[in-house]
Structure 1
């Protein structure tokens, strides 16, 4: 599924994978979420409810441009730098253009919507 993120007024495209958690996120769209920085690596935001991460691998290693869910906290994570191997992290998708990842470092709000 193709989605669009609006970051500081700029539209950025991404693709969700075919995981249960990504499909669950799609049911919540459109979303506008407040973000905060986490470890100078990712922006995190809290959707209205935790996503269904059943069937997801036990852990994942994030890369800059990944959109993920961290199951223990129920937050979304948008990585602008490569992350560490993390138990409970489920990768949901990825920004289409890796050049857009640095925009994530400073944004306080993000809108995510489905593309038809």
Structure 2
């Protein structure tokens, strides 16, 4: 399962893991929404439905990871390290465009990546 996160000028491709949370996100695609910077290490967006975190591994918080912060219900795209915690779940890893994560802004489209 691969997804594309695209703004007007930038695209990031993630490969999702096989967790319930990743599958729940994948099933909601495509999504068009606002991306928001948070802290000094991440960009976030809020899918319309909460993700099922059962059988989902915790996130390492490494740059390039796609994670889900369950208390707030937001998907997190890390461009710098974040200390892991028990509420941060791993969804996948960047496979291309890691340098573009912190450049995202405004409206993004999150969709199934078809390789085209």
Given the two structures, how large is their TM-score scaled by the length of structure 2?
0.86
Question: Which residue pairs with 2:25 in the alignment?
Answer: 25
Write out per-residue CA displacement over residues 12-57 of structure 1, whole angstroms, 9 at most, x where no aligned residue: 3221100000000011001122111111110111111211111224
Could you tell me how far 1:8 is from its partner in structure 2?
A: 3.5
Question: Which residue pairs with 1:63 in the alignment?
Answer: 62
* Structure holding more strand per residue: 1
DSSP 3-state at the match of 2:85: strand
Q: Does 1:107 align with 2:101?
A: no
Could you tell me how far 1:104 is from its partner in structure 2?
A: 1.7
Could you tell me how far 1:93 is from its partner in structure 2?
A: 0.8
Unaligned runs of 5+ in 1: none
Of the structure 1 ranges 68-77 and 103-112, higher mean CA displacement relative to structure 2 is found in 103-112
Could you tell me how far 1:11 is from its partner in structure 2?
A: 3.1
Of the structure 1 ranges 8-17 and 86-95, higher mean CA displacement relative to structure 2 is found in 8-17
Unaligned runs of 5+ in 2: none
| Residues 1-116 of structure 1 aligned to structure 2 (within 5 Å) | 1-57=1-57, 59-97=58-96, 100-108=97-105, 109-116=107-114
How many residues were matched structurally? 113
Could you tell me how far 1:103 is from its partner in structure 2?
A: 1.8
How far apart in 1 are the matches of 2:99 and 2:36? 14
RMSD: 1.6
